[in-house]
Homo-oligomer: A and B are copies of this chain.
Amino acid sequence: MATDYKTLAGQEFDRGAFESLLRRKVFLWQSFEPYGATKGLFDYGPPLETLESEVISIWRDHFIRSEKMMALKCSMLTPYQVLKTSGHVDKFADFMCKDPKTGEILRTDHLIKDVIETRLKGDREARGENVSDEPEDPKKKKKASKVAKTAVKLDESVKKEYEHLLATLDDCTGEDMGALIKKHDIRNPISGNEVEPPVSVNLMFQTQIGASGKEPAFLRPETAQGQFLSFQKLLEYSDGQLPFASASIGYSFRNELSPRSGLLRVREFLMAEIEHFVDPQSGKEHPKFHTVKDVKLPLLSRDVQQAGGSTPVNVAIGEAVSTKLVDNETLGFFIVRIHQFMQKIGIDMGKLRFRQHMANEMAHYAADCWDCELLTSYGWVECVGCADRSAYDLSVHMKATGVPLQVREPLKEPKRVEEFVAQLDKKKSGPKFKKDAGKVQAALDALTQDVKEKLSISMQQDGKVEIEVPDMGKVDLEKDIVTIQKEVRTETMREYIPNVIEPSFGIGRILYSLMEHVYWTREGDAARSVMSFKPTVAPVKVLVVPLQKDVRFADLLQTLEHRLDDDQLSFKVDQSGVSIGKRYSRNDELGIPFGITIDYQSLEDNTFTLRDRDTCKQVRAGLDQILEAVSKMVKGKEAWSEVQKRLPAFEGKEEEKE
């Protein structure tokens, strides 16, 4: 498979070999293998579980501790009504098409995109264009080959129509997509069968709380809603002061119709979500923005994308905010912090970009949105979304529950407010409307200032007005039953619903991208693969290798083990019979950054060699010095290049030891 995607050493990336390493070293596998494995669910073995834990530790330190965020843990099980209000019951859905003959269920947008892209590619082939460099999914290739329509030339007009279709697919309704399927004779690419019209399917897992049958619930599709509903608690904890941010690391669920792409699209996933609450009148400034304003970032703007471009531009965030490319300081600050986080965990920064959402990608209420995307062998993958959710969520929950999810703060100066008020006379309206009096008053309250002003004029002229009351229809109100007039009052408090800026991290996608980014093979030996995890995140920190099985090494080994334990350094002892070189090699696949060898010289002078995984270089020193160096490197406080300068080199090559 030829793709644009290269390893960190500039080699062709061989996904087959990479996946074989992940299997061999039990990084991950599909869950419930003995029962035939379940699609879209994955188990993490020791290396990946520990990698995740290290990445989460860094996330906690980088965001929660360092930015003084309020850590929250909210429930996964979520009552129906919460997600009805948030809009998920109605809108968190995908369209699916069923292949009536095979029973297979296909996501409609994926189906259309796959088929049309295959046709366009076939056209390019037929015209003799070179398509071998285009990244492609090996599974797609296999599927497409069964109904091979490759290398068919298209009319220029059809080609244009297809290109337009792909560019506008995200805006299509289910009906639109149904029409496209008919018009372009789009079929299941595997079976060649026609498919049934698109049907909307909600993507939440549904269940019941308790045994009464009265508490339908879902597994949450995002961790955000629990944070919004905790707003009053957070406000209390912050002594009523804004801005503040909550942060939650937890699982969300999405009942994918036909999961694929391994860890990139799964049904159960860990997210780390921040909700940063700001006063919308503050201009969304950030007190620490000045500390990051000169940081340059690869930004791919909406305008560049609209013009067909895909190359990000390196811009200082200060400039990006001042030119309004990025909407506000808070959004800009988080984009920088995300960038720094990715660097800390060892992402290849040449494979990272921030892409602005197109207008049709954003929720209707969102002001601006930037995704942090990482390049993988599957193409660019959205790993962090950084959106401005405005006041949407707090507003709808407040409206649905009547609980004030808002801030009340004293105005600096009392404010004189002049406005039209329409007020029923209670004594007279009571007998007339009885229990409906409240409805009428509510209808009056809901009128805009404009309408109230007009009604006050009608009242003066006609002695009565007509208004529309929900459930009651048109209602006449006479002069003696209602007063509509301009009133003046003094406000001393300001009430407002905060806006929310939300950086949302998909941890599984970040881990997968990271694993691809650190994978490479030693020059001249494609079988010797290496996972170059940074020492800070590497699942195991130290490999201990006694030169060979020899009882004389036992005491030194025990001392070394105790010392590593005292320093809380995770380590693995490899005492198997094979050569040291082989033992290093096979542990390079686990990404263990440092190796300590016990050899015969150790018995004489208590020195050990310390080996760096990436360069294969070694130094030799006493135990105190070696452990100090390892501890510092694992904490990210020293680099190997510095250690190599400090400690004497050891020239014995790995090959010689074999």
Contacts and interface: CB of A to CB of B under 8 A. Distances in A.
Given A105-B212, A267-B209, A26 B236 contact: yes
A66 to B, nearest CB: 6
A141 interface: no
Contacts of A251: 76, 251
A35 B206 contact: no
A208 interface: yes
Contacts of A26: 233-234, 236-237
5 contacts: A34-B229, A34-B401, A49-B73, A77-B267, A206-B208
Contact of A72 (B46, B76, B212, B233): B46
Tell me whether chain A's interface is mostly helix, strand or loop, or mixed: mixed
Given A45-B237, A46-B237, A565-B66, A31 B207 contact: no
Contact of A207 (B70, B219, B236): B219
A209 B255 contact: yes
Interface string A17-42: 00000000110010111110011111
A123 to B, nearest CB: 34
A399 to B, nearest CB: 11
A229 B72 contact: no
Contacts of A52: 73
A446 B443 CA distance: 81
Interface string A43-66: 111101110110001001100111
Contacts of A39: 210
Interface string A105-135: 1000000000000000000000000000000
A461 to B, nearest CB: 45
Contacts of A44: 72-73
A49 B75 CA distance: 12
Interface stretch (A78-86, A161-169, A293-301, A419-427): A78-86
Copies of this polypeptide in the complex: 2
A201 B207 contact: no
B35 A229 contact: yes
A71 B39 CA distance: 22
A79 to B, nearest CB: 6
Given A32-B82, A255-B210, A46 B75 contact: no
A211 interface: yes
Given A41-B75, A251-B251, 14 more contacts: A29-B230, A31-B226, A33-B403, A35-B81, A38-B215, A41-B77, A43-B75, A46-B72, A49-B71, A50-B64, A61-B568, A77-B268, A96-B211, A205-B207
Contacts of A234: 26, 45
Contact of A43 (B25, B50, B72): B72
Contacts of A33: 229, 232, 403
A222 to B, nearest CB: 15
Given A26-B233, A33-B229, A79-B38, A65 B570 contact: yes
Contacts of A255: 208-211
A180 interface: no
A46 B70 contact: yes
A212 B105 CA distance: 8
A210 to B, nearest CB: 7
Contacts of A343: none
Given A46-B237, A251-B251, A53 B35 contact: no
Given A72-B46, A239-B576, A255-B210, A32 B219 contact: no
Contacts of A25: 237
A226 B401 CA distance: 40
Contacts of A42: 75
Interface in A216-241: 219, 226, 229-230, 232-234, 236-237, 239
Given A33-B229, A34-B405, A226-B31, A74 B211 contact: no
A608 interface: no
A345 B226 CA distance: 28
A64 B565 CA distance: 12
A574 to B, nearest CB: 10
B75 A31 contact: yes
A219 B217 CA distance: 13
Interface in A391-428: 397, 401, 403, 405
A571 to B, nearest CB: 9
A112 to B, nearest CB: 18
A257 interface: yes
A519 to B, nearest CB: 19
Contacts of A68: 572
